[in-house]
Amino acid sequence: MRRSIPALAAALGLALTMSACSSDSPSDNETTEPTAAATTEAPALTGTLTMWVDETRIDVMKPIVEEFTTETGVKVDLVQKASGDIRTDFVAQVPTGQGPDVIIGAHDWTGEFVNNGVVAPVQLGDKAAGFATSAIQAFTFDGNLYGTPYAIENIALVRNNALVPETKATTFDELIAEGKAAGTKYPVLIQQGDAGDAYHLYPLQTSFGAPIFTQEADGSYTNQLGLGGTNGENFAKYLQKLGQDKVLDPAIGGDQAKEAFENGESPYIVTGPWYTTEFTSKGMDITVLPVPSAGGSEAQPFVGVQGAFISAKSANPVLANEFVVNFLSTEKVQTELYQAGGRLPALTASAELVDDPVLAGFNAAGATGAPMPSIPEMGAMWQFWGTTEVQIISGQAADPVAAWNTMVANMQDAIDNPSS
Amino acid sequence: MSQQTVTRGEQAPPGSPPEPRPRRGDGVPHANNFSRGFLVKLVLVGVIDAIGVFGLLTAISQQSWGIAGFLALALVVTNYVYFSKRALPAKYLLPGLVFLLVYVIYTACYTGYVAFTNYGDGHNSTKDDAIEQILAQNEQRVEGSEAYPLTVVQQDGELGFAIVRDGEAVVGTAEQPLEPVEGATVDGGKVTAVPGWDVLGFADVAQQQAEVVALRVPVSDEAADGSIRTQDASTGYVYESILEYDPVADTMTNTQTGVVYTPNDHGSFVAEDGTALTPGWKVTVGFENFTKAFDDPRLRGPFVEIFVWTFVFAFFSVLLSFALGLFLAVVFNDPRVRARRLLRALLILPYAVPAFLSAIVWKGLLNSSFGWINQVLLGGADIGWLTDPTLAKLSVLGVNLWLGFPYMFIVCTGALQSIPTDVLESARMDGAGAWRTHRSIILPLLMVSVAPLLVASFAFNFNNFQLIYMLTGGGPNFVGTPIIIGHTDILISMVYSVAFESGLKQYGFASALSILIFLIVGVISWLGFRRARRLEEL
């Protein structure tokens, strides 16, 4: 009978492979199926809404989804996906009809999704006016809105009040001097890592008047690169100086920066609400401030927006719209999402209720910030950008101006010839 | 089972009427022979069938006909093979064949197919999907138009929308533009009842969502006025289509500017001035993906450097780990070494840890400011193990040595122990010293069994993506290259960064490049194995 064992294994493996290929069977993922509410009001309601969410957002979404089920009687199959795969899987699976109805994600996925035709436009109608302009802008691509925003986040300067109780500095150089005077190991922490981190350096870059793309009067991006020219070159030289002074260090990635700040090795860190919640829960006394200008102009961070998209091939478009357009946009839900997730609500009415000083600090720091561009070529932009910055900081690129200009040329090339 | 049948036949009591002596495969129904083994087989095949049928039903419900067909065929073949008496060899071969088909032949064929398409970002699906999406993305709400609280109504199976326009209730269907109706009940700006029409509740709407969302009710007889549509069945907006698709001419026309977009052979609708509509669709593009690797001037420069480094990396990885593994194997093969078993077991430890995990750990150890090596071992030195181009290459080789030598150690130990002692003895009697014995007897004999493994190891390291990706990510990157690749990138990790990390994912291009790499590795391995076979003839 031994010969049946490989056969069994074969069939098992085969069946598993096939079912894994053919369907996103619920057993593959941790699935939450809220018990259906008593459906006395809507006895004939059928159809289950499938929703994808990654591990960073599922805890926040779970109670909201349960509330939706209780209110409308629509069952929701909340599927947890790995944050590294959710975006690629969505693009790959929607065309085959295996994708979810709704996906929760970040606004900078919009360009890729639209380019692949996997999301449907949403119509918020008059509700759109109730949202922060930058949040609506973030989910708009080629004139259409593709998602309902629910949370806004950006980076800012975070101060450890135990080390420095007051910040008098108005420029970044003064801030470094202040940090050095505090006598800690680092004057200020900005995470980098081996591949660079253009996102965390962006406030400094904009303070030199060199945004990634030039902006229209209404704040939306053109497809003209804005980081070239004299302003960009000045920023490149400044980066070299910060690298030589060891203010910036490629060896300090996100984890190292967070740990150093928690250990009191620096009075300042440039970071976002994802770390401050950890700082406050550890009992640190922190204040959130705008990043001081390094180049004279205002330092504006990127704004990231969280929201919900609807699949272009959803089998339940009405239910999906009911959740995304009508339910997620209410003040009650946005407030609950803020309370659970600790991010600034995208709905202005809910944002006005926020009384947390840390979040208010982030809000003030990001008030003039523009959303991260979501064009499909952004992936290449981030790579060129971070790589060049880290090469300037580490001294690998001895001539910062030349390196910066090569980067701008390469970026332009990647935009002009996207297919290679 | 047939043996047991035979036994039973022989043991039949002599007085009873003689049973016909069963012969192999003479069609005695198996069901009559309930031996224990048969029952086990029945249960196991039953389990396989159950799983297979479940997969089949899932595939059918998802309309994956290819998978459904394959599963059905596999089930039939499995049942035939394991219940037939004729297919004895197939009973042993079938599991392997199925695995071969699914994991090797299918994936190889699919990669081959994708290599000839433009599958990737922007060309993700079929032409029908693309047309539908282009139309959906270009149907826009008429600027400044009103938002109407909307009611979905039904009459004789035909769906319609009822809204309140200028204070009066109007109803329309796809064929019939909005018209006032008499006697409709309006509550708070929303129509709640229309004589002759059934008002659909949320649950009813949920039954026919696709139809409700697809419904366009013309605002008036003039098509230019746009039409009412809804996405949530409770609010309607006036929409107009900016693009129109003509199925006969297969063109898209912009209704506002009159620009005509025609499909090109790369799966996009393109206007005369070259502007393309997104998304496109998947088409076959011939050998374009293959020629692109050589045509693109941006790839040409760094390609040579990476090509050379790939060979250097694979060669030295094999050489170093083999040298160390062989040395240790010889040392620990000597009976004078104490606690040999324990030491051997310890030496195999790096092999027991998953390679990608080791790579991540090493990445941390080698961090220039926080790594254990600089901080503890070198007393706070600032050496860029992974950030200096030359040191990074050495680090990669070093880590791969750590990962690779236990394998070579095991293999060499086995091969050493299988060398017959009489050969060594006769060498000693002929007056050969230790060095001479090693060089002329042990090594050649060792190579007979180890050489093919060295070739295989070379092929493996040639494509050792996980180590590079986890340890350095290819970095430190070249300064100023038009595509982001680095000093420690090997061919396969270069493919990854070109095809996936450079913004747009290009599955077609990636497949073509991996086929090219397969050809290189294939040729090298073939040459290597041929040489290894010659060693055997010694």
Each residue's pLDDT tens digit, B91-107: 889 989 988 998 999 99
Domain boundary among B115, B150, B181: B115
CB contact under 8 A, A8 and B506: no
pLDDT of residue B420: 87
B7, pLDDT greater than 70: no
Residue B27 lies in a domain: no
B36, pLDDT greater than 80: yes
pLDDT of residue B263: 92
A7, pLDDT greater than 80: no
Residue B7 lies in a domain: no
Cis peptide upstream of residue A292 (ω within 30 degrees of 0): no
CB contact under 8 A, B94 and A7: yes
Question: Domain range spanning residue B40?
Answer: 34-115
Are B46 and B87 found together in one domain?
Answer: yes
Residue B317 belongs to a domain with what CATH number? 1.10.3720.10
Are B363 and B233 found together in one domain?
Answer: no
CB contact under 8 A, B233 and A318: yes
**Gap between the Cα atoms of A400 and A408, Å rounded:** 12
Are B301 and B442 found together in one domain?
Answer: yes
Q: Give how far B262 is from chain A: nearest CA, Å.
A: 18
**Gap between the Cα atoms of B385 and B365, Å rounded:** 10
pLDDT of residue B467: 93
Q: Which two tokens stand for residue B256?
A: 């506002």
Amino acid at B20: P
pLDDT of residue B403: 93
Q: Average the pLDDT over B134-148 and give the result.
A: 87
A5, pLDDT greater than 60: no
| Residue A45: band (very low, low, confident or very high) from pLDDT cuts 50, 70, 90 | low
DSSP 8-state class, residue B111: H
CB contact under 8 A, B129 and A117: yes
Residue B345 lies in a domain: yes
Percent of chain A scoring above 90 in pLDDT: 55
Domain boundary among B281, B308, B339: B281
DSSP 8-state class, residue B22: P
Residue B164 belongs to a domain with what CATH number? 2.40.430
Are B390 and B529 found together in one domain?
Answer: yes
Q: Which residue of B has its CA nearest to A41?
A: B203
- The residue among B145, B504, B513 with the most chain A CBs within 10 A of its CB, best to mutate, is B504
Number of Cβ atoms within 10 Å of the Cβ of B408: 26
Which among B51, B95, B206 has CB closest to A6? B95
A279: CB partners within 8 A, 6+ apart: A158, A261, A262, A286
Higher pLDDT, A34 or B423: B423
**Phi/psi class of residue B156: alpha, beta or left (left: φ > 0; alpha: ψ in -120 to 50)?**
left
pLDDT of residue B38: 86
Task: Give Dmax over CA atoms of chain B in angstroms.
Answer: 119
Residue B28 lies in a domain: no
**Gap between the Cα atoms of B456 and B450, Å rounded:** 10
Which among B130, B232, B384 has CB closest to A321? B232
Residue B23 lies in a domain: no
Are B373 and B487 found together in one domain?
Answer: yes
- β-bridge pairing B235-241 and B139-141: antiparallel
Higher pLDDT, B458 or A418: B458
Are B148 and B40 found together in one domain?
Answer: no
Task: Give the number of domains in chain B.
Answer: 4
Are B392 and B418 found together in one domain?
Answer: yes
CB contact under 8 A, A11 and B74: yes
Residues B136, B138, B141: CA angle, nearest 5 degrees:
95
Percent of chain B scoring above 70 in pLDDT: 93
- Domains of chain A in sequence order: 28-152+304-365 (3.40.190.10), 156-301+377-416 (3.40.190.10)
Chain A hits for B503, CB-CB cut-off 8 Å, are 376-381, 383, 414, 418
Question: CB contacts < 8 Å between A and B, how many?
Answer: 258
Are B303 and B405 found together in one domain?
Answer: yes
Record the pTM: 0.80
CB contact under 8 A, A6 and B96: yes
Residue B83 lies in a domain: yes
A319, pLDDT greater than 60: yes
Are B303 and B251 found together in one domain?
Answer: no
Residue B22 lies in a domain: no
CB contact under 8 A, B147 and A10: no
Are B222 and B328 found together in one domain?
Answer: no
Are B328 and B470 found together in one domain?
Answer: yes
Q: Average the pLDDT over B308-331 and give the result.
A: 94
Chain B hits for A45, CB-CB cut-off 8 Å, are 202-203, 206
Which among B47, B55, B504 has CB closest to A19? B55
Quick: pLDDT tens for A197-238.
Answer: 999 999 999 999 999 998 877 767 888 899 988 999 999 999
Residue B287 lies in a domain: no
Are B79 and B48 found together in one domain?
Answer: yes
B19, pLDDT greater than 80: no
pLDDT of residue A11: 45
Q: Average the pLDDT over B484-500 and give the result.
A: 88
CA dihedral angle for residue A21, residue A24, residue A27, residue A33, rounded to 10 degrees: -170
Chain B hits for A124, CB-CB cut-off 8 Å, are none
DSSP 8-state class, residue A267: S
CB contact under 8 A, B59 and A114: no
B6, pLDDT greater than 50: no
Q: Give how far A272 is from chain B: nearest CA, Å.
A: 23
Cβ pair A361, A288 in contact under 8 A: yes
